[in-house]
Amino acid sequence: MKQYLEKLMNRENLTLQEMKDVTATSFQSHITESQLASFLTALRTKGETPEEIAGLAAVIRSQSSQTTDNLVNVMDNCGTGGDGSHSFNISTTAAFVLAGAGVTVAKHGNRSISSRTGSADVLERLGVSLSFSKEHVEEILAENNIAFLFAPHVHPGMKRFMGVRKNLGIPTIFNLIGPLTNPVHLDTQLLGVYRRDMLPLLAETLHQLGRKRALVINGAAYMDEASLAGDNHITLLDNGNITSFTLHPHDVGLPVYPNEAIRGGNTAENTAILRDVLNGKPGAYYDTVLLNAGLGLFANGAVDSIQDGIAKAKESIDSGAAMEKLQRLVAYSNKISSEAI
CATH code (residue 123)? 3.40.1030.10
- CB-CB contact of 113 with 140 (8 Å): no
What pLDDT sits at residue 85? 87
In terms of domains, do 164 and 19 share one? Answer: no
Predicted TM-score of the model (pTM): 0.95
Would you say 225 is a known binding-site residue? Answer: yes
The answer to whether 145 is annotated as binding is no
Tell me: do 43 and 92 sit in the same domain: no
Same domain, 85 and 233: yes
**What are the start-end ranges of the H helices in the chain?**
2-9, 16-26, 33-46, 50-62, 90-100, 119-126, 134-144, 151-154, 159-168, 174-177, 199-208, 267-278, 284-300, 306-318, 321-340
**The predicted structure's pLDDT at residue 115:** 60
Same domain, residue pair 112 and 245: yes
The reply, when asked if residue 92 is annotated as ligand binding, is yes
Half-sphere exposure of 108 (CA within 13 A, CB side): 29
How high is the pLDDT of residue 125? 97
- pLDDT confidence of residue 259: 96
Please tell me the total count of domains within the chain.
2
Residue 278 confidence (pLDDT): 98
Could you tell me if 81 and 2 lie in one domain?
no
* pLDDT tens-digit series, residues 166-199: 899 888 999 899 999 999 999 999 999 999 999 9
Q: Is 55 annotated as a binding residue?
A: no
**3 state DSSP class of 235:** strand
Q: Within a domain: residue 89?
A: yes
pLDDT computed for residue 163 by the predictor? 86
Q: Spell out, as residue ranges, where the chain has pLDDT lower than 70.
A: 113-115, 341
On whether 165 is known to bind a ligand per the annotation, the reply is yes
Residue 312 assigned as binding residue: no
| Residue 59, in any domain of the structure | no
Position 95 scores a pLDDT of 98
Q: Do 20 and 86 reside in the same domain of the chain?
A: no
53 part of a folded domain: no
196 labelled ligand-binding: no
Residues 87 and 40 occupy one common structural domain = no
| In-domain check, residue 52 | no
Task: For residue 304, count CB atoms less than 10 angstroms from its CB and return exposed for 0-12, middle for 13-18, buried for 19 or more.
Answer: exposed
Residue span of the structural domain in which 28 resides: 1-47
For residue 266, how many other CB atoms are within 10 A of its CB? 12
3-state secondary structure of 40: helix
119 among annotated binding-site residues? yes
Instruction: Say if 67 falls within a structural domain.
Output: no
Same domain, 89 and 232: yes
Query: Do residues 125 and 232 share a domain?
Result: yes
Query: Does residue 253 share a domain with residue 162?
Result: yes
79 is in an annotated binding site: yes
Q: Indicate if 97 and 192 belong to the same structural domain.
A: yes
Q: Is 211 annotated as a binding residue?
A: no
Question: Is 11 annotated to bind ligand?
Answer: no
Tell whether 265 is in a known binding site.
Answer: no
How far apart CA 277 and CA 205 sit, in angstroms, is 33
- State yes or no: 108 annotated in a binding site: yes
Ligand-binding annotation for 112, yes or no, is yes
Residues 43 and 79 in one domain: no
Tell me whether residue 338 is in a domain. Answer: no
Q: What is the 3-state secondary structure (H, E, C) of 169-196?
A: CCCCCHHHHHHHCCCECCCEEEEECCCH
Q: Is residue 290 part of a domain?
A: yes
On whether 227 is known to bind a ligand per the annotation, the reply is no
